Amino acid sequence: MTTAEATRTGEAKLAHDDDAVDLPVVTGTEGESAVDIGHLRAETGLITLDPGYGNTGSCTSAITFLDGEQGILRYRGYPIEQLAERSTFLEVAYLLIYGELPTRAELDGFIDEVTRHTLIREEMRHFFDSFPTDAHPMAVLAAGTVSLSTFYPDAQQIFDPVAVEITIKRLIAKLPTLAAWSFKKAIGQPYVYPNNDLGYSANLLHMMFSVPSEEYEVNEDVAKALDLLLILHADHEQNCSASTVRMVGSSHANLYASISAGISALWGPLHGGANEAVINTLERIVADGGNVQKYVDRAKDPDDSFRLAGFGHRVYKNFDPRARIIKAAADRVLRATGADDQLFEVAQRLEEVALHDEYFVERKLYPNVDFYSGLIYRAIGFPKNMFTNCFAIGRLPGWIAQWKEMIESRETKIARPRQVYVGAAEREYVSIEQR
């Protein structure tokens, strides 16, 4: 699959001192335009400076389109609302990675291959034993993922389509097993092997919550809710962790190593770790008598480092379309599981207060994907420290698609940003006796 190129649609003039240079302007499928600065330094000696890359495109991509002002999110052109309503996680994974919705035969083949790779090498049982019981599951998942490369050296052949394909299937198949086994190790229960008769999300529930001493019946509503969450987390264009996967992959590191780096980036509370932080905040508000205004005021206080996890987004300056879908699903899951909905009630009040507060309105801070997702994971029975593992399992196909597009793209070079140096000018070394 070739990556569509952006079309040259004009020029931007950059005047500097008494120089001026015309820079190409390129435009994508949805009318987004960018100044192509690929030759800026060669032609002017200038570089651009954009900490956090809020104004900088790192690549062209045909995978996901999002419009932060309109609250639009599409995977390969399909609106997230339709995929959430009508698709399944493995079908969405296929769509993101290969670019088209699969035929029935293609999907069955993909599911069959993933299903056949859900076991991890038996030696890895000892891998989990080397961690303390309170190890954060994201540390175990990142380490476990890169460790897979030691069992499957063919992953180093990153330009061999056959090696890449089996690596993709192994990753999608084994991440839930790694996640579930890190949880079982933490709670001192026996590891539960995957059951190939179960669907992908049902298998994760089975490995997480069943025990050898009794029958475990997967709740279909819960499995469906988990599958929906995985769909909603599957990709999000050039977010922090996807950009990390691209950057690590651009050095020609193998896919296991690139995904492991993405997992580490996702762990941060400003990114995927926010879903765990949201529940911590809601629990604090409940313990503190339910006073949401107090926490909204703290989030607004420039002298208080407290931020409202689950609110705000670098790109969405409107509702995160995923948050709307998850909020509706949270209501359904809480009813299906009979879970305590006190936190849900506090979350809804918090949202209501914040969305009518000038500080949030002015800064266009809306609930993001993490604001309600933790309530569903919690209702399903995941412990808080497993929430970001669930995010990583959902995001995996997106990371794979981004890595594959990057590796296959003619425009890819090793990612190596420049800087503006503001340190000491040249100076002589001083021996320690003279210091």
Residues of this chain that interact with ligand SDX (CB under 6 A) are 236, 239, 270-272, 274, 299, 307-315, 363, 365, 368-370
Q: How far is the CB of 350 from ligand SDX (least distance, A)?
A: 11
| Catalytic residue selected from 313, 320, 331, 340 | 313
Nearer to ligand SDX, 198 or 315 (CB): 315
Q: What are phi and psi of 19, to 5 degrees?
A: -100, 160
Annotated catalytic, 357?
no
CA distance 260 to 241: 10
Q: How far is the CB of 250 from ligand SDX (least distance, A)?
A: 19
Nearer to ligand SDX, 184 or 314 (CB): 314
Return the residue nearest ligand SDX (CB atom). 312
In what order do the strands lie in the sheet containing 64-67? 64-67, 72-75, 78-79
Nearer to ligand SDX, 250 or 402 (CB): 402
Q: What are phi and psi of 272, to 5 degrees?
A: -70, -20
Nearer to ligand SDX, 28 or 272 (CB): 272
CA distance 98 to 114: 15
Q: What are phi and psi of 179, to 5 degrees?
A: -65, -50
Rounded alpha-carbon distances, angstroms, from residue 37 to 55, 62, 253: 12, 20, 27
Closest CA to 192 of 176, 174, 180, 202: 180
Annotated catalytic, 370?
yes
| Catalytic residue selected from 227, 235, 320, 370 | 370
Q: CA dihedral in degrees (26, 27, 33, 34; nearest 10)?
A: -30
CA distance 351 to 326: 14
* Contacts of 373 by beta carbon, 8 Å cutoff, 6+ apart: 229, 232, 233, 275, 326, 387, 391
Strand 19-27 to 7-16 pairing: antiparallel
Nearer to ligand SDX, 24 or 269 (CB): 269
Q: How far is the CB of 147 from ligand SDX (least distance, A)?
A: 25
Q: How far is the CB of 121 from ligand SDX (least distance, A)?
A: 30
CA distance 124 to 117: 14
CA quadruple 135, 295, 348, 283: dihedral positive or negative? Answer: positive
Q: How far is the CB of 119 from ligand SDX (least distance, A)?
A: 29
Nearer to ligand SDX, 199 or 312 (CB): 312
* Residue written as token pair 């956090």: 52
User: What type of residue sits at position 81?
Assistant: E
Q: How far is the CB of 80 from ligand SDX (least distance, A)?
A: 11
Q: How far is the CB of 308 from ligand SDX (least distance, A)?
A: 4
The answer to whether the CB of 347 falls within 8 A of the CB of 371 is yes
Structure tokens given for 180:
């579930």
Nearer to ligand SDX, 236 or 327 (CB): 236
Which residue numbers are catalytic? 313, 370
